[in-house]
Homo-oligomer: A and B are copies of this chain.
Amino acid sequence: MRAFFPEVKQPIGYEGPASRNPLAFKHYSAKEKVLGKTMAEHLRFAACYWHTFKGLGQDMFGLNTMRRAYCQGGDSVVVAEQTMEAAFEFFTKLGVGFWCFHDTDIAPEADTLVETNARLDRIVKLAKQLQRDTGVKLLWGTCNLFSNRRFLAGAATNPSPEVFAFAATKVKKALEITKELDGAGYVFWGGREGYDTLLNTDMGRKLDHLGRFLHMAVDYKKQIRFRGQFYIEPKPKEPTKHQYDFDAASCHAFLQRYGLEEHLKLNIEANHATLAGHTFHHELAYAAANGLLGSVDANRGDTLLGWDTDQFPTDLYDTTLAMYVILKAGGFTTGGLNFDARVRRQSIDPIDLFHAHIGAMDAFARGLKNAAALLREKRLETFVKKRYAGWDKGIGKQIEQGKVGFAELEAYTFKHGEPELQSGRQEFLENLLNEYI
């Protein structure tokens, strides 16, 4: 088979922290065990199709900057096939176990849905073969309901029921091909399920429609016996002014309101967290506290910029705290770490794709080891447990058990007077964290 990444001659290997080889892992060693599982099992890395193979450096102020061998020659379906081959070459050389895609990433839309679906079938067949050949698996599939002109006013929340129907038709197919590729999950990201102005918007009706849409998806999933996990992905804005799935808590409100909380978990993205005014850590912790933690779009934003920069995750504080929450919540089951990240527009060489993913995988490997050390040594956990120890006994326990009300608590307070206070010890804990970085 033709090589699209000839710069990388062999699979990226582990060379340890002292290595200066930019094409080697310094921390990620797939089979090394941490807390009883291999690093690969813990981290379940996925490369994403859209940024990594379809993104060519375009931004709002400029055209493509990247020129890829797999884009050369042939018609659009041939290019699609070459791209799929290049992708699996990349997955294999890099050593990620999973991939993720939108329907439109892998096959270009045709003039009719019939032809579009035929193209999808053709490419999916190729992908299935490549999965079998390489052992690379599908972490999740999804459907692009935001790029085509027809979705300019949303898909499930579109003012036109015909667009809703069109979106349903596309999601139906996307679920089928995700099942065909044995995807471990399926993600709903409603890129335009929001509004640009409230002046033309009936918010209540739109939310009802979104609820209906997801129930239809749940029904269809059962019908075709797709066993992957459904996820909803919070993002506050961009491309819309406001998206209904603003953050984890908004999704939580929505899922409860429409009786969907048992059917969908959250796919938390780092950059979407910060766009919503939260830390990545917060969104993960909120999801974990409410039983909604599903999968992760592992990237990094720039909190001084107001758009989705989708940078590769390299901040060790982020990776350490993320893995700490994930491990404490029991680790991934169906989910994983999908690099929904793109190389910068100036990083025009194919080798930059390798640098980017290697750096991100190493950063999460370090995060995993740091988190494992934190968990093993339990200094953080013990501190927190002790801080809340009052709730395990006496009046605290009675409150938690619902045995007392305001009258009893008033009596208690009149008897005991002003409470003792303890320091929150934030600086001590921040220093402690730094011991693990």
Contact = CB atoms under 8 A, between A and B. Distances in A.
A35 interface: no
A205 interface: yes
A340 to B, nearest CB: 13
A128 interface: no
A384 B423 contact: no
B172 A427 contact: no
Interface stretch (A69-77, A79-87, A132-140, A343-351): A343-351
A36 interface: no
The 4 closest A-B pairs by CB, nearest first: A306-B306, A346-B424, A161-B396, A359-B431
Q: How large is the interface on A (under 10, 10 to 19, 20 to 34, 35 or more residues)?
A: 35 or more
B425 A257 contact: no
A129 B48 CA distance: 52
A311 to B, nearest CB: 8
B146 A61 contact: yes
A59 interface: yes
A419 B63 contact: no
Contacts of A391: 161, 205, 209
Copies of this chain in its oligomeric complex: 4
A162 B246 contact: no
Interface string A48-69: 0000000001011111110000
12 contacts: A20-B435, A62-B148, A62-B239, A161-B394, A162-B390, A197-B424, A202-B387, A252-B257, A314-B431, A316-B437, A343-B426, A358-B431
Contacts of A387: 159, 200, 202
Given A150-B421, A161-B396, A305-B237, A428 B355 contact: yes
A238 B63 contact: no
A220 interface: yes
A165 B196 CA distance: 42
A26 B383 CA distance: 21
A247 B351 CA distance: 36
Contacts of A256: 253, 256-257
Given A159-B390, A198-B285, 16 more contacts: A159-B422, A168-B406, A198-B279, A199-B433, A205-B388, A212-B399, A216-B409, A220-B405, A237-B277, A238-B305, A256-B256, A278-B304, A344-B424, A352-B425, A359-B431, A437-B437
Contacts of A330: none
A239 B9 CA distance: 35
A431 to B, nearest CB: 4
A431 B362 contact: yes
A345 to B, nearest CB: 6
Interface string A191-232: 110001111111111011100100111011000000000000
Interface stretch (A39-47, A90-98, A119-127, A410-418): A410-418
A151 interface: yes
A152 B57 contact: yes
Contacts of A410: 168-169, 172
A208 B60 contact: no
A4 interface: no
A303 interface: yes
Contact of A219 (B306, B380, B406, B426): B406
B216 A405 contact: yes
A423 to B, nearest CB: 5
